[in-house]
């Protein structure tokens, strides 16, 4: 790969990753509903929609970066600071796994990827909440919100990704992380 080609690819990757982080952050921060449950409440947001789109369209690395940094940054600046390290790992894993599974294209694979993300989210945040609150029963109350959040995101993102994946890949020159 020539130096010019490598610079173009690196610049493109930085731009796409930065855009995906920003969109994931914005959807998490501004399209959400706070729930009156648990000690700090809960949150249902649409940040998983751009996360899933980033992972499906641009690949596992971009998905991991968008999720870890986009939602982790939200936690840091929105009063959920204690959650930031957990979010960084859990949502980063979600993005990576969705991107990895989505390497096989199509609605079926995208749907399987969303189910895998749901499992990661439920297990990851259950453990995180148990650690933060020192109680292994209380995290059960967060599971329905996590299910709603991921299922809604999947219902929105899977058809969008199916329609966009071919178009976007042609427009940006086939970038895949």
Radius of gyration of the chain (CA): 16
Q: Which domain holds residue 158?
A: 3-171
Work out the angle between the directed axes of helices 48-58 and 143-171 (0-180°, nearest 10): 40
**pLDDT bucket at 142, cuts 50 / 70 / 90:** confident
Say if 28 falls within a structural domain.
Answer: yes
Say if 10 falls within a structural domain.
Answer: yes
pTM of the model: 0.89
Say if 63 falls within a structural domain.
Answer: yes
- Which of 55, 59, 49 has the alpha carbon at shortest distance from 23? 49
Phi and psi at 40, nearest 5°, equal -105, 10
Average pLDDT for 60-74: 97
Say if 162 falls within a structural domain.
Answer: yes
Say if 18 falls within a structural domain.
Answer: yes
pLDDT of residue 170: 52
pLDDT of residue 79: 87
pLDDT at 39 over 60: no
Tokens (6 digits) for 5 = 């080609």
- Which of 126, 151, 44, 58 has the alpha carbon at shortest distance from 96? 58
Residue 50 DSSP code: H
CATH code: domain of residue 51: 1.10.1760.20
Cα 70 to Cα 54, 62, 84: the distances in Å are 11, 11, 10
Give the burial string for 111-148 (b: 16+ CB within 10 Å, else e): eebbebbbebbbebbbebbeebeeeeebbeebeebbee
Are 53 and 80 spatial neighbours (Cβ–Cβ below 8 Å)? no
- Which of 38, 69, 32 has the alpha carbon at shortest distance from 54? 69
Q: What is the mean pLDDT of the chain?
A: 89
When divided into structural domains, the chain yields a total of: 1
Say if 177 falls within a structural domain.
Answer: no
Q: Which of 109-113, 136-140, 145-149 is most confident? A: 109-113
Of 38-42, 63-67, 148-152, the range with the lowest mean pLDDT is: 38-42
Say if 70 falls within a structural domain.
Answer: yes
**pLDDT bucket at 42, cuts 50 / 70 / 90:** low
Q: Which of 120-124, 134-138, 171-175 is most confident? A: 120-124
pLDDT of residue 110: 98
End-to-end CA distance of the chain: 16
Average pLDDT for 30-35: 81
- Which of 78, 74, 85, 115 has the alpha carbon at shortest distance from 98? 115
Say if 176 falls within a structural domain.
Answer: no
pLDDT of residue 160: 95
From CA 82, how far away is CA 103, in angstroms rounded? 33
**pLDDT bucket at 169, cuts 50 / 70 / 90:** low
**pLDDT bucket at 43, cuts 50 / 70 / 90:** confident
């Amino acid at each position: 790969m020539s130096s010019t080609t490598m610079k173009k690819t690196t610049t493109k990757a930085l731009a796409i990753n930065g855009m995906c982080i920003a969109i994931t952050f914005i959807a998490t921060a501004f399209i959400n509903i706070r729930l009156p449950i648990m000690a700090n409440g809960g949150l249902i947001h649409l940040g998983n929609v751009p996360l899933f789109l980033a992972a499906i369209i641009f690949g596992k690395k971009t998905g991991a970066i968008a999720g870890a940094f986009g939602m982790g940054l939200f936690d840091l600046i929105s009063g959920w600071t204690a959650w930031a390290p957990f979010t960084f790992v859990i949502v980063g894993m979600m993005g990576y796994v969705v991107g990895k599974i989505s390497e096989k294209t199509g609605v079926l694979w995208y749907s399987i990827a969303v189910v895998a993300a749901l499992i990661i989210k439920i297990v990851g945040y259950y453990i995180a909440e148990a650690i933060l609150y020192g109680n292994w029963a209380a995290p059960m109350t967060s599971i329905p919100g996590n299910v709603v959040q991921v299922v809604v995101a999947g219902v929105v993102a899977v058809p969008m990704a199916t329609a966009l994946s071919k178009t976007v890949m042609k427009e940006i020159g086939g970038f895949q992380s």
